[in-house]
Structure 1
Amino acid sequence: MSGAKLLTEKWPVLGRHKQAAVWLQIWADLGRAPRTIDAYARGLTEYLQLCERDDIDPVTANRAHIAIYVRELTSRPHRRGANVVAIDSGSGLSNATIQQRLVPVRLFYDFLIEEGLRASNPVGRGRYTPGRRAGVQQRGLVPRLTKLPWIPSEQQWLRILEVARSEPVRNRVMLALAYDAALRREELCSLRTDDVDPAHRTLRIRAETTKNRLERVVPYSASTGVLLSQYLTHRAQVSRARGPLFLSESRRNHGQPLSLWTWSKVVRRIALASGVERLSTHTTRHLCLTDLARIGWEVHTIAAFAGHRHTDSTLQYIHLSGRELADKLARGMEHIHAWRIQALTSIDGTETDR
C-alpha cells in the first residue's frame, strides 16, 4: 500500500478530494521523505476540513477564503496548552507553525495551476508563470518572524549536564554525539554501527537520513569516543547484530531500533528534571554550531559541518554568537582608545611645552 493511500485512510478528507489525493501521491512517487509527506497531508487536511465546514470549493477558493483559514490559525489554541514555551501568534500557534501550515496549501494550488484547473495561486507571493522559477514577489499573507535559535545559558547547561549524568550510558552518549557532531534528531537515531569509524573518530551521516539529502562525515571528540566505547560494550549485551546503533531496552521493544519519539521523551524528561523546559532534541545542535561560531570557525566551514546546503541557515549562528559584532566593537574601541590616548598625550605635550 502506497504512503499516500495510507494517509488518505488516516485523514479521510483527503480521499474525498481527488486532486488532493493525486497531489500527495505525486510527492510520494517523487521520493519525498515520509515525514515530509505526513506534514503536507496534515496541513492540507486542516485546510480542506475548513473548506468543507464553510462550504468552500477548494479548487475555486480565493484570497478571502485563505484569509479565513489564516485567521483561524492565528486564533487557534495550541494543543499543548500551558506546555507551550513561546507563543508568537498571541494565541497559541507560533508564527513558524502558521507558515508551515500554509506551505502545503500553496503547493497544492501550484499543482492545480499546472493541471490547468486554476489561473492563479491565492496563497502565492507572486504571479505564477509556468516554466519560470519565480514571479513578481509580493508580501506574504502572514508576516514572517525570523528568530535566532534558543540556546541555554551556562547555568542552564550545567543543570542539564547534572541531570544527564544519572542517565543510562546509551542516553549519555546520544546526548554527547548530538552536541559534538551537531546532529539532528533523525540523523542521531538513524546511525548504524557501520557509520562509526573509531579509528578516525568520525561518523558518516547518510544522505537518506538528512534533511536536505546531503551525506557528510563529521568528527567527534576523544571524550565522546570513550563514552561511545562504553556504550558499544553495553550494546553487545542487548544485541550483537550489526545494524542500528542505538537500540531500545524496553520489555516491549527490546533490541529494536530506538525510535525518534523515544529519544524525544528522554530529552523531555531531562528538560523537566533540570528545570530547563525549553530544551529539545535540536537544542544541542544549535548550541554546538553557536559555539563553533564563537571560537572563530568560518561560515562555510560551519555550513559543511552542519550539512547546510546554503550558508543562509548558517549565518543565524554567527549572529547568535555575536562574534562579528564583538570583533567590530573591539576593533572600533581599539581605534577610539588609541585616538583618545593620542589626543590626551598631545594635549599633555602642548601644556608641557608652554
Structure 2
Amino acid sequence: MTSSRLLLLVRDRAAVRRYSPRTVQVYVRWIVAYVNFHGRRHPAELPPSAVRNFLSYLATARGVAVSTQNQALAALQFLYRDVLEQPLPTVTGIAPAKRPHVLPNVLSRAAVAAVLGVMDGVPWLMASLLYGSGMRLMECCTLRVKDVDLDRGEIRVRRGKGARDRVTMLPASLVAPLRAHLGAVRLDMQQRAARGGGYVALPLATGTKAMGAVRNAGWWWVFPASREYWDAEAKQRRTHHVHPTVLQRAVAEAARRTGTAQRVGCHTFRHSFATHLLEAGYDIRTVQELLGHRDVSTTMLYTHVLNRGGLGVKSPLDLPGLSGSRAGGPTERPEPPSRTVMGSDASRLRNPRRN
C-alpha cells in the first residue's frame, strides 16, 4: 500500500497551493495508481522513464482519453516538483498529449424540453438550472443559499473553475419552484439541527472567524444530501451537498426514456445554453461572462455548432434560383435561349467589322 506519510505530504503541499478538494482527490488517486503500477516502489526511487511508461500504459492498455492522460501527467508533475522536490527532466514522451479538436455536443431546444419533460423533483430543478444558467455540474451541486438572489434573478458562482467567481442569470421560470425548494430545505435543516446535526462544512478559515456560520441558513447547501456524516475532527454531524452522480444518473435515465440518439450528459446543458444564446443573437462577450471563460476564443467554439453557422452563412444549395435542385421539390429547367437573332444584333453578327 502506498505510504500514508507520502499521501499526507501530498495533501499538505496541495493545501498550501490552494488546490480544490476535488483536485487533491484526483491527484491522490493518480499517485496511488502510479505507485501500484510500479510494484509499490517509492516514487523517489524510480527513474524518469517510469513516468513515460505509466503514461504509455494509460494510452495503450487502458485507452484513456487525452484529457485523462494529461490529468495523470499533471498529478505526477505535482508529485515530483512540489512534494519530492525532484522536478521531472525533459524526457521524450513526458509531455501533455495533443488534444483533438472536438465540437461540443449540443441539443436542440425541442430535445432539451423532451429530456427535462420526463424529469421531476430535485433532479429536474438542478438540470433546469444547468440549462437555464449555464452552470457546471459541481457549481450547481455546491451552490449555497446565500448565493441565490431570487429578487434580482441572479446566481453568484463561488470559486468556479480556476477559482473564479462570477454572476450568472436565474431563469424567471425557476424562481417559484426554487423558492418552494428552499422553503423545504430550511424546514429539513431545522429538523436536523433539532436532532443535533444541521452543520455544514465552510470554506477555508470561515468556520474559525465566524463560529456560528456552520449552522447559518445562508451557508446551507441549496441541494443538500439526504444523509448526514460524522466529522471526527470537528466532532459534528454535518450535511454534505448532493453527490454529482445523483444528477448524472437522473439525466442519463431521462435521455434513455426520450429515446434520443445523441449523447446527453449534465455538461450538455451548459453547451446548449451557450449555443442557444448565440442563436438568439446575444453578444458573444456577454455569453463569455455568463460561462466564466477566461478567453473569448473558448466561447467562440460554440459558433461552430450554430444552426445558422458562425456568420449566418447560407449554404449555396439553399440560395434562390438554383437550377435542378431537388431539396425544395421539383423545379423546371429554364428554356434554352432562342437561336433567332433580330434587329441590330443580327446585323452585327452578319457584319462583324461594324463591331
- 1:289 is aligned to 2:274: yes
State the one-letter code of the partner of 1:218: T
TM-aligned CA deviation for residue 141 of structure 1: 5.9
Change in 2 beyond 3 A, CA 1:323/1:32: farther
Deviation per CA, 1:186-227: give whole Å up to 9, x if none: 2112222222222221112123xx122221222222212233
Change in 2 beyond 3 A, CA 1:236/1:23: closer
Query: Distance between the aligned counterparts of 2:170 and 2:283, measured in 1?
Result: 19
TM-aligned CA deviation for residue 279 of structure 1: 2.3
Higher radius of gyration, 1 or 2: 2
Match of 2:221 among 241, 244, 259: 244
Deviation per CA, 1:241-289: give whole Å up to 9, x if none: 8222223457999986433333333333333433458322222111101
Change in 2 beyond 3 A, CA 1:267/1:217: same
Query: Distance between the aligned counterparts of 1:352 and 1:58, measured in 2?
Result: 98
Q: Size of the alignment, in residue pairs?
A: 295
Change in 2 beyond 3 A, CA 1:322/1:274: closer
Change in 2 beyond 3 A, CA 1:254/1:32: closer
- The residue that corresponds to 2:91 in the other structure is 122
Query: Distance between the aligned counterparts of 1:352 and 1:112, measured in 2?
Result: 95
Query: Distance between the aligned counterparts of 1:257 and 1:172, measured in 2?
Result: 16
For structure 1, the 5+ residue unaligned runs are 1-11, 78-88, 126-139, 338-346
Percent sequence identity is: 21
- The residue that corresponds to 1:142 in the other structure is 97
Query: Distance between the aligned counterparts of 1:239 and 1:247, measured in 2?
Result: 9
- The residue that corresponds to 1:308 in the other structure is 293
Q: Is the Cα–Cα contact under 8 Å of residues 248 and 255 in structure 1 kept in the other structure?
A: yes
In the TM superposition, 1:71-150 aligns within 5 A as 71-77=56-62, 89=63, 93-111=64-82, 115=85, 117=86, 120-122=89-91, 140=95, 142-150=97-105
Change in 2 beyond 3 A, CA 1:104/1:255: closer
For structure 2, the 5+ residue unaligned runs are 191-215, 230-236, 323-336, 346-355
**Further displaced range: 41-50 or 239-248:** 239-248
Query: Distance between the aligned counterparts of 2:26 and 2:223, measured in 1?
Result: 26
TM-aligned CA deviation for residue 73 of structure 1: 0.9
Change in 2 beyond 3 A, CA 1:274/1:255: farther
- The residue that corresponds to 2:149 in the other structure is 197
- 1:161 is aligned to 2:135: no
- The residue that corresponds to 2:17 in the other structure is 30
Match of 1:179 among 125, 131, 134: 131
Choose between structure 1 and 2: higher helix proportion. 1
Q: Is the Cα–Cα contact under 8 Å of residues 228 and 239 in structure 2 kept in the other structure?
A: no
Match of 2:36 among 49, 55, 63: 49
TM-aligned CA deviation for residue 351 of structure 1: 9.5
Q: Is the Cα–Cα contact under 8 Å of residues 106 and 123 in structure 1 kept in the other structure?
A: no
Change in 2 beyond 3 A, CA 1:323/1:101: farther
Query: Distance between the aligned counterparts of 1:50 and 1:221, measured in 2?
Result: 48
Change in 2 beyond 3 A, CA 1:62/1:31: closer
TM-aligned CA deviation for residue 34 of structure 1: 0.6
TM-aligned CA deviation for residue 230 of structure 1: 3.6
Q: Is the Cα–Cα contact under 8 Å of residues 13 and 49 in structure 1 kept in the other structure?
A: yes
State the one-letter code of the partner of 1:122: V
Q: Is the Cα–Cα contact under 8 Å of residues 105 and 123 in structure 1 kept in the other structure?
A: no
Q: Is the Cα–Cα contact under 8 Å of residues 14 and 45 in structure 1 kept in the other structure?
A: no
Query: Distance between the aligned counterparts of 1:66 and 1:237, measured in 2?
Result: 52
What's the Cα RMSD here?
Answer: 4.0
Change in 2 beyond 3 A, CA 1:267/1:351: farther
Q: Is the Cα–Cα contact under 8 Å of residues 196 and 203 in structure 1 kept in the other structure?
A: yes
- The residue that corresponds to 1:70 in the other structure is 55
Query: Distance between the aligned counterparts of 1:57 and 1:162, measured in 2?
Result: 51
Q: Is the Cα–Cα contact under 8 Å of residues 156 and 165 in structure 2 kept in the other structure?
A: yes
Deviation per CA, 1:22-43: give whole Å up to 9, x if none: 4542122222101001111112
- The residue that corresponds to 1:219 in the other structure is 169
